Amino acid sequence: MPHYPTRRKVRPINPHKLALSKWTAVVALNKEKHFLVTRVVPPISPDLPVEEIELQAVISGRSVVLPWRDLQDDARWHQGWV
């Protein structure tokens, strides 16, 4: 029987429910791996969808703003603190 590669699951993420969620970077960013979503950046107009979130490093408190869709990339982020 041939072996077929398994399909990666796409995690459904609702950007409005990301606030205070925990994330682990697969590759450390500035020696920081554990992050918390501190803010969902509101769009310029209420008619536009949410595009960005603010992540804060747990250790240093440094914040970075990035597109929320980046969190769906399993090669870069894991949900929760691993």
What is the span of the domain harbouring residue 19?
15-79
pLDDT, residue 41, reads 94
Residue 72 lies in a domain: yes
pLDDT, residue 34, reads 97
pLDDT in tens, the chain (82 residues): 566 555 555 567 888 899 999 999 999 988 999 999 999 999 999 999 999 999 999 999 999 999 999 999 999 999 998 8
pLDDT, residue 1, reads 58
Predicted TM-score (pTM) of this structure: 0.81
Residue 6 lies in a domain: no
pLDDT, residue 64, reads 94
Count of domains forming the chain: 1
pLDDT, residue 3, reads 63
Q: CA nearest 77: which of 16, 31, 30, 29?
A: 29
Please give the full DSSP string across the chain, using - where no structure is assigned.
-PPPPPPPPPPP--GGG-TT-EEEEEEEETTEEEEEEEEEEPPSSTTSPP-EEEEEETTT--EEEEEGGGGG-TTTEEES--
